[in-house]
Structure 1
Amino acid sequence: MWGRIFVHPVLTGRVRLTWSCRSLFTMQLKTKEFQSLFTDGLNGIAELFEKNQFELRIAGGAVRDLLSGKRPDDVDFATTATPDEMKSMFQAAGVRMINNKGEKHGTITARLHNENFEVTTLRVDVQTDGRHAEVEFTTDWQKDAERRDLTINSMFLGLDGTLYDYFRGYEDLQSRKVRFVGSAAQRIQEDYLRILRYFRFYGRVADQPGDHEPETLQAIQENARGLAAISGERIWVELKKTLTGNHAAHLLEVIYDLGLAQYIGLPTEGDVEELKRVWQQAQNWSPKPMTLLSALLRCSEDVDRLDLRLKISREEKNLGLFLVKHRRDLLKSVDDSDSLRPYTDFIIDSREPDAQSKVCELLKYQGEERLLVELKSWSIPRFPVSGHDLRKMGITSGKEIGIILQQLRDVWKKSHYQMDKDELLSNVTRS
């Protein structure tokens, strides 16, 4: 490996790869995505750190994205400066600081040229309990990299384009491997949520669904019980990202095979085969996470139990209840020439404002691609008759008005929503 030169298509210009010690891998990154990060704000922050002789590097997921040829949505920074040193430096330069909640963990957020820059002091974990960590600050970049979860998330990128990779993260990224930094069991025991982060990133990085290292799966299985102490909200964030990534059905199957389901709110007897079927049909239509997850659920009580553990939103719970209830009964039309009609009739009769969105998710679940395309271009027609129209005809009984309106609505639906007010009112007969 010493002195090896390797050129990857992500990189442009001159590429330099060196091994300055047995663990540190460096190379030079010069891409348009990297260069686009250098706004007036970042240039100002960089100049300030350099002037005060503190190192500043891009950290974590942003480095991974840049190496994959993507411009990151969020950029986090790491530094050798302590929080107090950063505060003194920013105050002296007149740079505003906001949102100081992360200060005890080493994070200071500076605002310059209408941009926020989140900068965190290098850290080492002093004590962990599987959920939280007590940290102390360091100036050792490798020590900070050691405490991160996955190799692909443990790299740093200097503002001159130099990559600093201590744990073969770049190599893993190029070969589409998802590995923990060092000992998988140790990393997991520091924060059991990392089990689910493994699956989430596997769905983002890996090419093939079954390319897991046996040692990693063993470490996950042996530490599964630790997930029971993780909050449902944190679990749901990771689970949703797994469901919207690649290989979602495979990853949920692995989650069941390793015995994780019981600790993260999923039904122990979840219908994995149904999930695989729905995923195969719906994956190209960007189904919502709850649409896929509903395939595991066998009844409304499963939705309630899921909500109790994961604290899903009201909208997500209502979608789950809707899919579990209607995934079988809204399938066939009485009129084969209009197979969309059961769905449009349901939307017309529904009192829920998001009925059309729910039915679109139902069609994804059912694999009805043609009907989904038709429904997406369909606008909900307005029923043209009101109670006021009937009162003008001399009908004053509220009960009678309700009965007649329902009768007229049925006639209107049978006309494919084409009959206008006059045509409908001509059908009114009084008893």
Structure 2
Amino acid sequence: MRINWIQLQKITSKMEPILLNIAENKDFQALFTPQLQKLRGFFESRGFEIRIAGGAVRDLLMNIKPADVDFASTATPTQMKEIFEAEQIRMLHKRGEEHGTITCRIDDCENFEVTTLRVDVVCDGRRAKVEFTEDWQLDANRRDLTINSLFLSLDGTVVDYFGGIGDIKSRRVCFVGDARQRIQEDYLRILRYFRFFGRISNTSEHEDDTILAIIENKDGIKGISGERIWTELKKIVIGRMASEVIYTMIKECKLNVLLGLPEECNIERFKMVFKRFEGSLDPMTMIACLCEEVEDISNFHKVTKLSNDERNTGEFILEHRREAQENLENIDFWQDKIVDLEQRPGHDPSLEKLRRRVVQLAKSVGANREILEIIEKFESPKFPIDGKVLMSSGNLKKGPHVRNVLMYLFDLWRQSKFSMSQEELLEHTNDGNIPILSKKSTSPKRV
């Protein structure tokens, strides 16, 4: 989508902003470190305005302490660099300068990210070409949601051009201006809308025109990078109101296939697990709840580019969910699963990560509190054999057969409920029925 600069100036009619003073807000006052006071002085002494922008303002109005604070200024990137060089302030070389963002570090203890006011003059639904401006309203107009289009002067005055203050009070989530135009500027805003709806709204009902605009433009998601999709989606599936939001995204807007999810998603299972364990779930656990087959995780990975740990977690849950459901209250089953993960030769040595994987599997099938406590507290017995022990025993020659024997002995040890000693296991190193493993497998395949 192309936006002409002159046309943008015409369609954005000048309006008086709504002003609200929050100088007495304790979280706002807490932001005023000596370093922020210095930053303010650098800009104001040279005739430039600097304000807090976006999400931090929204959070302050919701009585939430901001986790991140971004700043906007009328100074251009070149002017900002001149200011910081003159004041001998170190600048951090981060990506974003082409879009007007400069990051500085004051007194070697606090970083500040400052972005020049801008407008997106050319948009293709993924990225934008920007031009700088000194007009605060034009910058507010390019932002996605009204609740994110607010500025906060450092004297404590919130500046609101598009009704964001009122929308925060009423917990209304809507796009700035025309929803279709905002979405077509960056199709990721479809997912951002749902993320903020779940976070802020006090109702599960969406405005009809917003949903229609999303449905009309949903194919634009195909052009978004998988990493950006997953960054938003992983927050949605474990966030507030996740069940209601996912229902709308899948049942009403039909976004599932575009996001790499199956054509038929198990929303009821998603709801059950989320309702029971909200606040302690991994994003991949919730993705697995929507899926039925291990291949569904592979397809999801093709779109979202999961990390190895995320993909392994999703596949682990789907591989073992059926037997976990059948053994829901079988303590031996869960303990065996833990030992298999944590002690099987060649597996990931990160025990905390592996134990969490079993906990998430248990939650995905609705395990009760007693089972979860056992899983979390169970101390896995240590497998008494490794490659060095095998080689030092004198019973084997060096070679690929050592791995086959090691896996065979591990399975014998599991079958004995972890009771066989090192000496007892070594007696079986030359059994005649030792299976041969494929190169990548850690499970025996008999030939």
Q: What TM-score, normalized to structure 1?
A: 0.85
Letter in 1 for 2:377: S
Other-structure match for 2:305: 311
The alpha-carbon distance between structure 1 residues 331 and 395, as it changes in their structure 2 partners (threshold 3 A), is farther
User: Is 1:342 the equivalent of 2:336?
Assistant: no
Alpha-carbon offset, residue 344 of structure 1 = 1.0
CA distance in 1, matches of 2:189, 2:412: 57
Answer whether contact 1:127 1:133 (CA < 8 A) is retained: yes
Letter in 2 for 1:193: L
Answer whether contact 1:149 1:194 (CA < 8 A) is retained: yes
User: Is 1:246 the equivalent of 2:251?
Assistant: no
User: Is 1:86 the equivalent of 2:80?
Assistant: yes
> What pairs with 1:122-271 in structure 2 (closer than 5 Å)?
122-208=117-203, 210-256=204-250, 257-271=252-266
CA distance in 2, matches of 1:224, 1:27: 36
> What pairs with 1:410-421 in structure 2 (closer than 5 Å)?
410-411=415-416, 413=417, 421=421
Answer whether contact 1:148 1:181 (CA < 8 A) is retained: yes
SS of residue matched to 2:95: helix
Alpha-carbon offset, residue 390 of structure 1 = 9.1
The alpha-carbon distance between structure 1 residues 340 and 161, as it changes in their structure 2 partners (threshold 3 A), is same
The alpha-carbon distance between structure 1 residues 295 and 404, as it changes in their structure 2 partners (threshold 3 A), is closer
Letter in 2 for 1:177: R
Alpha-carbon offset, residue 68 of structure 1 = 1.5
CA distance in 1, matches of 2:307, 2:394: 47
Alpha-carbon offset, residue 135 of structure 1 = 1.4
CA distance in 2, matches of 1:82, 1:225: 36
CA distance in 2, matches of 1:173, 1:231: 30
CA distance in 2, matches of 1:304, 1:426: 38
Letter in 2 for 1:192: Y
User: Is 1:366 the equivalent of 2:361?
Assistant: no
Alpha-carbon offset, residue 403 of structure 1 = 5.8
Other-structure match for 2:439: none
CA distance in 1, matches of 2:296, 2:283: 16
Per-residue CA deviations over 1:78-101 (Å, capped at 9, x if unaligned) read: 011111111111111111111253
User: Is 1:25 the equivalent of 2:18?
Assistant: yes
> What pairs with 1:113-124 in structure 2 (closer than 5 Å)?
113-114=107-108, 115-124=110-119
Letter in 1 for 2:367: E
CA distance in 1, matches of 2:52, 2:318: 45
> What pairs with 1:33-48 in structure 2 (closer than 5 Å)?
33-48=27-42
SS of residue matched to 1:182: coil
CA distance in 2, matches of 1:390, 1:121: 65
Other-structure match for 2:376: 376
* Identical pairs, percent: 44
CA distance in 1, matches of 2:288, 2:425: 45
The alpha-carbon distance between structure 1 residues 298 and 53, as it changes in their structure 2 partners (threshold 3 A), is same
Number of residue pairs aligned between Structure 1 and Structure 2: 400
Letter in 1 for 2:380: I
CA distance in 1, matches of 2:385, 2:304: 44
> What pairs with 1:47-126 in structure 2 (closer than 5 Å)?
47-114=41-108, 115-126=110-121
Letter in 1 for 2:17: L
Moved over 4 A (4+): 384-406, 419-422, 424-431
Letter in 1 for 2:266: D
The alpha-carbon distance between structure 1 residues 373 and 51, as it changes in their structure 2 partners (threshold 3 A), is same
Q: What TM-score, normalized to structure 2?
A: 0.82
Structure 1: gaps (5+ residues): 1-20
SS of residue matched to 1:223: helix
Structure 2: gaps (5+ residues): 1-13, 432-447
CA distance in 2, matches of 1:59, 1:380: 50
Alpha-carbon offset, residue 291 of structure 1 = 0.4
Alpha-carbon offset, residue 279 of structure 1 = 2.1
Per-residue CA deviations over 1:285-312 (Å, capped at 9, x if unaligned) read: x211110011122212211111111111
The alpha-carbon distance between structure 1 residues 341 and 22, as it changes in their structure 2 partners (threshold 3 A), is same
Answer whether contact 1:282 1:365 (CA < 8 A) is retained: no
Answer whether contact 1:106 1:121 (CA < 8 A) is retained: yes
CA distance in 2, matches of 1:401, 1:111: 54
Answer whether contact 1:185 1:223 (CA < 8 A) is retained: yes
Alpha-carbon offset, residue 62 of structure 1 = 0.8
CA distance in 1, matches of 2:390, 2:34: 66
The alpha-carbon distance between structure 1 residues 258 and 390, as it changes in their structure 2 partners (threshold 3 A), is closer
Answer whether contact 1:383 1:409 (CA < 8 A) is retained: no
Letter in 2 for 1:363: A
Stretch of structure 1 that moved more, 232-241 or 378-387: 378-387
The alpha-carbon distance between structure 1 residues 426 and 229, as it changes in their structure 2 partners (threshold 3 A), is closer
CA distance in 2, matches of 1:150, 1:72: 18
Per-residue CA deviations over 1:84-143 (Å, capped at 9, x if unaligned) read: 111111111111111253122111111112211110111112121111111111111111
Please report the RMSD computed on the Cα atoms of aligned residues, expressed in angstroms: 2.7
Answer whether contact 2:71 2:115 (CA < 8 A) is retained: yes
